[in-house]
Structure 1
Amino acid sequence: MDDQARAADAAPPILAIDHVGVRVRDAERALAFYNKLGFHIVYEDRSEPVLIVRNRDGIELNLIVNASPGEGSNVLLDMPDKHPGITHVALRVASMDETVSRLRTLGIAITEGPVALGPRNTSVFIRDPDDNVIELTERAST
């Protein structure tokens, strides 16, 4: 057994991504945007600045409402120095054509794409009001 197989056997069984935390500045503005993507509040923490939002398919985001005021650039993507960190979240969509059409109808700007990423994926990129990057990706069936 090689080192990689041993490490896999020793790792705790991770079943899925449970949620993604997204830092935002303003709860109302963030909710208006994420509502357009089909997310709604399921829990608001009274002791921490966290809003849990979920869509009808069970995808969950934690909106962490404590970002510092600033000019709105994304420090992980828009600055010349590249710092470690999670740069974006990718959400699977059923149809790229329908997604692009609905984004246009909702007035959500596509910042990149549609672009083919690998042999089976087509993606578009959008940004929330705090410049957090969201990739919407269609995976073609094999």
Structure 2
Amino acid sequence: MTRDFYEKLGFEFIMGPVGPEPVAIMEHPSGVNINFILNANSSSSVNQLMDISEKHAGYTHIALEVDDLAKAKGQIEALGCTITEGPVETPDGAIFLFIRDPDRNVIEFHQPPSK
């Protein structure tokens, strides 16, 4: 399920499982690599860093810069992905939106302010 989701976003399966804590590796044509933990045993449907009121230190999400957020939004929706927040525009003109992957990891798509 997770692999299919990321393939829709343009990532390609590179290898896996590899390593003592087995991971699978996927790569996007832009050069972004993601390692997925394959031996996770959590059946929780929450993202521990984002979905609970007690805040812990750690990584909360990745942000991918796009040139045209409106175009990216259309592509995201065409893939059947649910937008969980946004688009939101900041006072400086940046625009962003968020989606979740099947493991509830947050992915931000971010268009910087016009120069």
TM-score (norm 2): 0.89
Q: How high is the sequence identity, in percent, across the aligned residues? A: 39
Structure with bigger helix share is: 1
Partner of 2:78: 105
TM-superposed CA distance for 1:118, in Å, is: 4.8
Q: Does residue 76 of structure 1 match 2:49?
A: yes
Q: Does residue 46 of structure 1 match 2:18?
A: yes
Q: Following the alignment from structure 1 to structure 2, what is the Cα–Cα distance between the partners of residues 63 and 127? A: 15
Aligned residues: 114
- Where does the alignment leave 5 or more consecutive residues of structure 2 unmatched? none
Q: Following the alignment from structure 1 to structure 2, what is the Cα–Cα distance between the partners of residues 122 and 33? A: 23
Change (3 A) 1:118 1:64: farther
TM-score (norm 1): 0.74
Partner of 1:55: 28
Q: Following the alignment from structure 1 to structure 2, what is the Cα–Cα distance between the partners of residues 114 and 49? A: 36
Structure of larger gyration radius: 1
SS at match of 2:50: coil
Runs of 4+ in 1 over 3 A off after TM superposition: 45-48
1:70-92: CA deviation from partner (whole Å, max 9, x where unpaired): 23101111112111111111011
